[in-house]
Each structure stands twice: as C-alpha cells, then as structure tokens.
Amino acid sequence: MRSPFLLAACALADISTTWAQDVSEALLEVPWKTNNAKVNHLVIALTPAEKISLVHHTLWPGSQNLAGYIKPIQRLGIPALQMTDGEAGVNGVLNATAIPSQLNIAATFSRELAYIAGAVAGSEARLLNASILLAPRVNILRDPFEGSFWQGYSEDPYFNGQLGAQAVRGIQDQGTMANSKQTGPSSTGASAGDTNSKVDLQVLHEVYWAPHQPLIDAGVATMMCSYAQINGVPACQHDELLNLTIRGDYNFTGAMMSDWTAAHSTAPSIMAGLDWEMGSDAYYSEPLYDQIYVQRNLSESYLNRAVHRILSMYDRFGILDGNGAEENSTALLLASKDLPQETVKTGQDASYDIAVRSGVLLKNEGTLPLGKHLSVAVLGATGLQLTNGAGFAERAFGFQNRKVAPVDALKQAFKDLKVSSAVGVDMHGTLVPRSALRTVDGKHGLIRNDSMERTHFDSTLNFQGKNSLPADVSYTWTGELIAPMDGYYRLALQRRFPSPGGPINSTDYSVFSHDYFSVDEKTVDGYRILGDGGTRPWSSPLPTTDFWDEAGTDVYLTAGTHNLSVAATSMFGEPLEIRFHWVTPEQRQKNIKDAVKRASAVDVPIVFAHADSPAQVGMQLIEGFDELIQRVAEANPKTVVVLHNADPVLMPWLDKVSAVLWMGHPGQEGGAAIADLLLGEHNPQGKLPVTYPASVNSSMTRNPDYPNRVDGQNDTAVFSEGINTSYRWYLSTNTSVLFPFGFGLSYTTFDYSDFNVIETTDSTFDVSFTLKNTGSAPGGEVPQLYIGPPSGAAQKYPGVQFAVSSLAGFDSVELSRGAARRVTFPISKRQLSFWRQVDRSWVLAEGTREVWIGTNAQSVMLKGTIEI
C-alpha cells in the first residue's frame, strides 16, 4: 500500500529513531474522545488522508499571503484556516495597523495596553481572514547579541506572563485564536536556532516555562514549540515540557504547533503532544501516514488525539458553525478585503497610545522638553523617515499615510519651532558607478547570467522602468567591486516590488530571500517576502525614499578590488527592477561634517540613531552613528539622542550628550509620539524591559568567564547562571550596568511613602504604599515590587536555587500634578514557592524575606519584610 502523499522537495529525512520511544507505548490506544460529541463524530468521519491533511502546513500558489494555511475538508464542511504573525500587528500583504513592537508594549508596563494591542491585532486578523494570530511571544530575552529583542516582552518571567495573558484576552475577545510562543528555551531568547540548551529543571519550571502558564489560565487556544533542544531533546518532542508540564501541570487543552520547520521527528513528536507540524510537511505527511497505516507501528489514536485537539479549537471559536473567515467558506482560497474605516481609526489611536507611553527617557540634563521657540536640527535617517521596525518582518507594514517622519511631525506640532535637517548617516546611497565595477577580464562593469542560459555585459547594476529585466527569469551578476580607499562602505541592493493587490506568485514557495549580494563572501539577503498578492519593502527598517525594498549592510573594505556577486529572482510575473547603491567613506565623512555644521548653528541638535535586531555588530548602533553622535555632541552640548533599537546597545557618547530618549520600534504613529514626547505634550513614562549591560564582556551571556552560555561545545549552551538570570545575575554578581531593568526618567517627580505589609490569608500578603506626583507636570510612574530569597534557605533547602531578587508586582499609575494614590500589590503563595521535581510540586519556602518597592531593579524606595 502506498501513501497518497508526496514529501516536499526540501523535506529532511525522518530522524525519529534518534529519539525512539518504547514500541509498546507507540502502539497504545491513548484517549482522544471528549464530551464534545460534534468533534468526536467529525474525527470518526474523516478518512486517514483527511486526518493527515489537517495536521500539517500546506504550501501551494494562492495560500501564501499569510504565515500558515491548513486546507479545508469540503465534504464535511470543515473550512480552510489561515494563520498570521502578529507580535506587532497583522503580518500580511494588505494594510493593517503597525502596532509598536512587543518590546515597546512591555516598556509601557501596562497590562491595559497589552490587552488593547491584542484586541487591535485580533480584530484585524479576523477581518483579514486569519483565524489564528501567532502572538504573543513570551520567550525570556536572554542574549543582547542574537536575542531578536523586538519580538518579545522582557527578560522577566512574571512580567512576560502578566502582559502575555492580557494580550491573549485581547486577541481572543475578538474571536481570533491567540498563540503562546515559543516554548523552549533557546540559548538567546530568539525563536531561531536549534542549539541545545542545558538547563536545570527547577530553572526551566520557574523561569523559562512559567510565563506560559498565565496565558493558559487566560484560555489561550494554541501554543508553539521552538527550534531549540532542551537538555538534548528537541522542544517539539519534549515529553516533560509538552505532556507533563503544559498538558498536565498547566492543564492546556488547546492545539500545540511547531515553529516553522521546527519539528524534528514523526512518532516522538506526536506522542509527546505536538499536534501541528507547521512550515513544512516533512514528518506529518507521508511519514506519519506510513507509520500508522502502512507499517502499523504507531497507534492511530495519537493522530485522532491531535486532530481532535485541532478541531476542538475550530469548534470553540465558531469555525465549524459559520463564525470564521468568510462565514467559514470551504473554498481553497480566502479573499481578504480592506479593513473598515472605524477599525483603522481604532488601530491608529491604540498605536499612538502605546508609542507615546513606551518612550523611555534615559538621560535628561534639562534640555527636554524642548522650548517651543527654539531652533532644532533633526539629524539621522530615522528622523527623516519613520522606521518600519526591525528588518525581520513578523510585523504589519502599517498604513503609509500615517507614517509621518519625526522631522515633519515636529514641524506640524509647533509652527514657531525652527526645524532644519541633515541625513548625517545615509542608509541608501547612490548608484555604484561603472568605474567601481570590473569584470574578471578587466572591463568596467559586471557579467550578468540568467536562468535562460544567456550572458550579458552590464556597465552598472541599474534596471528600472523601461530598462527593467524580463519577468520570470533568475539573474546573477559577478565581477569585482573597486574600493577607492580604506574604510566602511554602506552597500545596498534595492528592488521594487509590486504593490498589494498584485498577482499570485507562481514561482516556488519561499518567504525568505529572493535577492542577495555578496562581497568577499559576506552575504546580505533580502528577507521575508510574502508570496501572493504583492509584497512590501520589509527587508530593512527603512525602505528607500522612493519606496523600494532594500537589503543593506556596512562592510570595511581596503582600497582595491573585492569579489562581488549579486542574485535576484523576478516574482509575480512582473519585470525585475533592481539597482546596487553605496555610500563611500569619503561621502560618509562629508555627510557627518554637514550634520555637525548644522548642529553647531542651532539651539538643540536631535540625532536619530538606530540598530538592526539582531544588530550588525552586537550591542552597537549601525556603523557611523556613534561617530555622528560624538561629533555632534562635541559641537553642541545640548545634543539630544533618539534611539530606535531593540537589543541593548552601548553608548560610548552618553556622558557627552544632554538627553537620550529610547523609542524602540514605535509603529506607524511613532512620528507623532516622538514629537509629543520631545515637546512635552506627553510626559515620558516608559521603563526599560531589559537590562543594558555596561560592556560586551560584562554582559551575562557574552562574558568571557562563561564562554559556553550561548554557543558552547557541541552546539550546547549552558545556562550556568541558573535561577539568577538577566537583572538577577547583575545583582547577584555585583556587576555594573549601563541601565537596569525597569529604568526610566520623567519630566516630573514622584514621592513614595506610607509603606505597609499585611498578611491577608495564610501565607499571602498585600504590600501597599502611597505614590504622589510632586512635580510640576502630570505624568505616569511605574512602581515595581521585588522580593528577596528566604533567610536560611541554603541550610533548610540544600540544592534548591533562590533568586536574589524577583519582580512580584508592577503597575502603570497616572497622576495629575500634586495628586496621590494608594497602590497595593498582592503576593501569592506561588510567588513564595519553589519547584520540586521529585514530586512535581510547588513548595512554599519558609523563612523571612525582604520585600521592597523600587523604580527599577536596582533601586529601593521603600522596604520591609514578610515571614513564612
């Protein structure tokens, strides 16, 4: 008997036997029926082939406009299902609100705004025919080099769980399924990479798995397991994680999916509780069919259980009853329409509120807020263009008419404000001239080959308009790039994509690179191209000023020749428009000199600087910005810096500038939010959700004293910091930081007083105090409650780890000038307990603990004790 399924060409071999489980267990009849008779009957009515089609991702032309697609079962009325990325708005081709990044949401320290962000994305996802929004992400952000911080909330498990639970409620109150992701941990906190994470089980339960439990308590419908291995076992087949903890201890009843291509096996994965293989069909198509129905070495009950869990979520959200996408059309394609205007307006308001409340004032020597009759110079690319966000495109592109550049927002806010500008550090450059290109036989230009086996000579790489290259052809250019001098060059491959509403892409499916260039084997990819109906310029935080996609980098070149190759595939059946630009060291210095001249002629220069996520160089702004800030500050000590970064960056110029405002990736309304914060129309109230290390070598994961914490031997990362991760590690080792977790300044001042601790019931407590705005302006403050370890813990609980400090409460409190409010934080038994693996229980730790209120992880405003 042959399976009716074909493996995708890129499918990996089934490596199930690497983690083989007992054969008798594989043949067990596991329970799968529930009291949901409708779903029970549906599972029974499905054919084997139909069951298999429901448990894996499907790739085919027409289904590629969102992240994931499950085919319908038309004869039984089971609709198609689409999934979309959604950490920062609905990531699709059509217009959707560009909400600020999850890191920005976290910087508000507001449960309310986490809910609102979820509600906006959940509502728009449903209207755009996505039944699952792949958000929120509650990974612990661990490594400042590769952590992709913009996609997550913070480095603290309690904080992530609190915000994530509110996001789930916001999403699912709109009738869209949420997704708690990604269970791991990975060595960095990012989703990518299958490095083995060597982590103590107590630490897994208390730090890395704990954030997911509040989301499950909030009713999250789906979850996602990561690429990572955990103590040698892939997360998507980790029995302790999926079965014992998530299904058992946390009582999760929804559907578990893999991250895209993160499944590593067939039988071990489905037995451990992985219901959906997403991003591929390497293991849950033909291999799964064969093991159950041909080889008969795996019980069909495991497949029935997975299908039942999936269809139960369909049923819970009305997808089986006409309440889903297009009234649950069973058509293969689901056609989206533009969002209603009232939905668009709701998204705009929410995006602005999050952006303006997420701004973190890191330094201020009185320059901010700006006077309304000053002269200012806006310097830097993200001041002249509003950043789209990080280059990795799991985000909405946003409404272009809402993306007001900060320089324009400042001009619009106050007519008396004298605003000038200069690029400072140019990200886009000009066309690489013929004189800087050379073929191997010495001609100035490049050799172009194409998939039609034709060869051409091009004097430059510049094809647009009537000069565009023919459609449905792949192209490569080879030759040499001639650098006229030593120094850093900005190189950028730019191409135009068709606007949304374009044709279906008939080329092979890939959301990844359709163009790249390589200089001396350093390769830069264009990235994350959605496949149907056009696309967006997503490869960079800043598209070109004429709205082309751009894949760029900064590379140090010595004077002379360097190997160059460029490749591009035409898409959507349209001609290829592409060009290759650069900024030479000479031009870079001229741009900086012009910016410095401009800065010296105004009252306040404002430098906008940014970094990729992950950064091109770990913990550093894009090349040129540190020099720009340093030289501008030397010319004018009133310099203000506005930062657009996610992963922490070093600030070698910090003591030279007057003010620093962190804005992260503030979404489509960011320009207006930045202007209002700079001008004092809104008081900065955000707080850093991650620690900023003082140096690379003093960071927790890149400290040379701990070389195995990220990429150790045999691709194993050793989490040797244990329970004292992130801000706890800096406290426990007395390591200085640039800025601590929870830090942020204000234009007003606050007083903390009248501290009180009472035991409310057996071993639960209320901590209360009075917070007063003592300054001259209204503003928001974020008080934070921390608890210490119990006294005598080492003697009473040998082998158990206790954190030196743990966040146990927080709130965003708005106070008018002179107003005061009583604030109360409860402390639960769970927050005073530790995980004991031997009997899988939470044990209340006895002893005296310090509790304190702070404005960040390293400050103490009020302090007391509790006794267990």
Instruction: Sketch out the chain's domains with CATH numbers.
Output: 34-317 (3.20.20.300), 343-423+595-707 (3.40.50.1700), 430-587 (2.60.120.380), 748-867 (2.60.40.10)
Q: Tell me: pLDDT of 335 over 90.
A: no
**pLDDT cut 90: percent of the chain above it:** 79
pLDDT at 27: 94
Q: Is residue 334's pLDDT more than 90?
A: no
The Cα–Cα gap between 345 and 573 comes to 35
What pLDDT was estimated at residue 513?
A: 53
Say if CB 129 and CB 326 are below 8 A apart: yes
Note the pLDDT of residue 543: 87
Query: Is 229 within 8 Å of 712 (Cβ atoms)?
Result: no
Helix ranges (H only) for 21-156 are 23-26, 37-45, 48-53, 102-107, 111-127
Query: Does 192 score more than 80 pLDDT?
Result: no
The answer, yes or no, to whether residue 722 has pLDDT greater than 60, is yes
What integer pLDDT is reported at residue 827 of this predicted model? 97
Least confident of 79-93, 195-209, 693-707, 827-841: 79-93
Q: How far is 279 from 59, CA to CA, in rounded Å?
A: 8
pLDDT digits (tens, 9 = 90+) for 154-183: 999 999 999 999 999 999 999 999 999 999
Instruction: Identify any residues that bridge with 772 across adjacent strands, giving them in sequence order.
Output: 751, 820
Helix axes 670-678, 406-413, angle to 10 degrees: 50
Mean pLDDT taken over the chain: 91
Model pTM?
0.95
Q: How far apart are CA 244 and CA 204, in angstroms?
A: 13
Those residues whose C-beta lies under 8 Å from the C-beta of residue 709, and which sit 6 or more positions away, are 143, 187, 700, 701, 702, 703, 717, 718, 719, 720, 721
Nearest CA to 437 out of 429, 427, 447, 428 is that of 447
Separation CA 540–CA 393 (nearest Å): 9
Structure tokens at 121: 């994305």
Could you read off the pLDDT of 731-772 as tens digits, one per residue? 999 999 999 999 999 999 999 999 999 999 888 999 999 999
Mean pLDDT of 515-527: 81
Q: What is the pLDDT of residue 392?
A: 60
Q: What mean pLDDT comes out for the span 782-787?
A: 98
Largest Cα span, the chain: 84
What would the mean pLDDT of 286-308 be, rounded to a whole number? 98
- Tell me, what DSSP letter sits at residue 117? H
pLDDT band at 390 (very low <50, low <70, confident <90, very high): confident
pLDDT at residue 16, as a whole number: 35
Whether 534 has a pLDDT exceeding 70, the answer reads no
d(CA 782, CA 355): 16
Q: Collapsing DSSP states into helix, strand and coil, what is residue 673?
A: helix
Neighbour count for residue 588 (Cβ, 10 Å): 23
Q: Report which of 452, 507, 455 is spatially closest to residue 477, judged by C-alpha positions.
A: 455
> What would the mean pLDDT of 666-689 be, rounded to a whole number?
97
580 vs 462: CA distance, rounded Å = 7
pLDDT at res. 453: 95
- Higher-pLDDT residue of 516 and 794 is 794
Query: What's the pLDDT at 549?
Result: 85
pLDDT of 149 reads 87
- As beta bridge partners, residue 489 has 555
pLDDT at 393: 63
Per-residue pLDDT band at 305 (split at 50, 70, 90): very high
Rounded CA-CA distance 381/379 in Å is 7
Phi, psi at residue 473, to the nearest 5°?
A: -135, 145
185: cis peptide before it, omega within 30°? yes
User: CA-to-CA distance for 297 and 830, rounded, in angstroms?
Assistant: 42
Mean pLDDT along residues 487-504: 80
